[in-house]
Amino acid sequence: MSLIEPVFIGVDSTSGRSSFTYAMLDKDLHLLLLADGELEDVLSLIKEKPAVFLAINSPANVNQGLLGKKLKADGSEQKKVRGAQMRLVEYELRQHGIAVSGTPSTIVACPSWMQMGFNLYRALEKKGFAKYPKPDSQIQLMETHPHACYCVMADTLPQPKPSLEGRLQRQLLLYEHGVQIQDPMDFFEEITRHKMMKGNWPIELLYNPEQLDALVAAFTAWLAINKPTHVVSFGNEKEGKIILPTHELKEKY
């Protein structure tokens, strides 16, 4: 690792403008790249990088019915999750008060952003990416979840991410955790009475929700490799595990 400069990439597939929004950090958490692109752009990005650790904000697999089997084995009522297909990891996060989308049991039933995520996982696997943790591999991928990441970083449920408050909060959390990005407090220094009356807010100093989600995924990848005791893994290898930037989850958020 010391002889090779690694990069840490976070990919978000929920952008409405392009298939993916992605962020790249170096070993010192400097922001190297923040962009939108298609699958080919992401694959091209990693082509010349000898050490790449990548986190994706999308399920790695469809659900395999593990939750139903668990509830049956526990003697729990299936009606607890009636109407919501989900993986075991998604159920576990909901038990902690972290609301996450459920993943259907078939690819065709999944929303387009999940299907794009599946395509990315499969393409990376074909290129030799190993599932985290794989200490002997210089190219690893992992699944994470941006809302869950910000919950554990804030130690509470964050403000809605499309809102001004939510964007400021997320950017500040990243900045305070050492990610070398624009200081969101600069936003307030640019506000004057005149600008407020004219509705001329310095929004350009804040990242958009998709960019913030990609950034927290990249940070999670960095933390998983550089400080593995500072991340926690939830889920099942068969359905997919979610990596979060904390050593343990609170009982409730």
* pLDDT tens-place string over residues 221-247: 999 999 999 999 999 989 999 999 999
What percent of the chain stands above pLDDT 90?
77
Over the chain, what is the mean pLDDT?
Answer: 91
Mean pLDDT calculated for residue range 27-40: 96
CB 251 within 8 A of CB 183: no
**Alpha-carbon torsion 104, 107, 110, 113, what sign?**
positive
Least confident of 47-51, 60-64, 129-133: 47-51
Tens of pLDDT, residues 162-217: 999 999 999 999 999 999 999 999 888 877 777 777 777 788 889 999 999 999 99
Comparing 87 with 196, the larger pLDDT belongs to 87
Mean pLDDT of the 146-169 span: 97
- pLDDT at 42 exceeding the cut of 80: yes
Which residue has better confidence, 17 or 129?
A: 129
pLDDT of residue 1: 42
pLDDT for residue 84: 60
Distance (Å, whole) CA 234 – CA 115: 21
Task: Average the pLDDT over 140-162 and give the result.
Answer: 97
Round to whole Å and give the CA distance between 89 and 63: 10
User: Is the pLDDT score of 60 beyond 50?
Assistant: yes
What distance in Å separates the CA atoms of residue 12 and residue 161, rounded to the nearest whole number?
A: 14
Q: Which of 186, 190, 214 is nearest to 201 (CA)?
A: 190
For 147, the token pair is 């809302």
**Encoding tokens for residue 190?**
């640019």
> Which of 48-57, 75-84, 86-95, 223-232 shows the lowest mean pLDDT across its residues?
75-84
Q: Which residue type occupies 193? A: R
Cα separation, 169 vs 37, in Å, equals 26
State the pTM of this model: 0.92
- Average pLDDT of 33-55? 94
Split at pLDDT 50, 70, 90, the class of 64 is very high
Give pLDDT tens digits for 96-136: 999 999 999 999 999 999 999 999 999 999 999 999 999 99
Q: Tell me what pLDDT residue 197 has.
A: 73
The least confident of 11-25, 65-79, 127-141, 169-183 is 65-79
